[in-house]
Amino acid sequence: MSGIKKGNIMPSFSLPDQNGEIFNIDTILGQKNLVLFFYPFDESPGCTREVCYFRDLYETFRELNAEVVGISGQSVESHRNFAGKYELPYRILSDENNKVKKLLGVPNSFFGMIPGRVTYIVGTDKKIVHVFNSQNKPERHVDEALKVLFVLSGLSGVTNNNKS
């Protein structure tokens, strides 16, 4: 499965968010930078660390004119519970049929058994400026996104992630 790559235009799509409302990605594309991250499962230890780290640095993303959006294949109800439990300030979208996962070419990992963990950073020109694909160290997705956004903004920022 070949996926979208750096330099490609982010395609349009709509999915329900954790509140059951249909969210169209075009409401962000071209207006703000976008950090779109795919994570395997609500409530798994690595995914929980990742979404909470995005939560903890959410205001920094906003200051960099970026919106954060998470996607995984669990139901709206699962996402509602997950987002509520961890007080997530951003949307997480339900891709139960893997429509968007397939559209973007997000691969599975571990012999195809676990949904992939991939983060896309999209500039205000709707072009993908960075793709980060790694199951290991989920928090690194946040650090990678911030590093790219600091470069896009012309600032020099350093995150302090001592997690292992």
CATH code, domain carrying 148: 3.40.30.10
Rounded Cα gap, residues 136 and 134, in angstroms: 5
- Does position 54 have pLDDT exceeding 70, yes or no? yes
Structural domain count of the chain: 1
**Residue 118 contacts residue 128 (beta carbons within 8 Å):** no
Q: What is the pTM of this model?
A: 0.89
Q: Say what the pLDDT of residue 164 is.
A: 37
Q: Does residue 125 fall inside a structural domain?
A: yes
* Average pLDDT for 160-164: 43
pLDDT in tens, 5-48: 999 999 999 999 999 999 999 999 999 999 999 999 899 888 99
Q: Does residue 158 fall inside a structural domain?
A: no
Q: Does residue 85 fall inside a structural domain?
A: yes
Q: Does residue 111 fall inside a structural domain?
A: yes
Structural domain of residue 146, as residue ranges? 30-153
Q: Does residue 11 fall inside a structural domain?
A: no
> Is the model more confident about 14 or about 140?
14
- Does position 51 have pLDDT exceeding 60, yes or no? yes
Q: Does residue 12 fall inside a structural domain?
A: no
> Is the model more confident about 138 or about 129?
129
Verify whether residue 47 is a known catalytic residue.
yes
Q: Does residue 117 fall inside a structural domain?
A: yes
Helices (DSSP H) in the chain: which residue ranges? Answer: 45-56, 58-63, 76-85, 99-104, 140-153
**Catalytic: which of 10, 28, 29, 47?**
47
Q: Does residue 62 fall inside a structural domain?
A: yes
**Residue 47 contacts residue 135 (beta carbons within 8 Å):** no
Q: Say what the pLDDT of residue 134 is.
A: 78
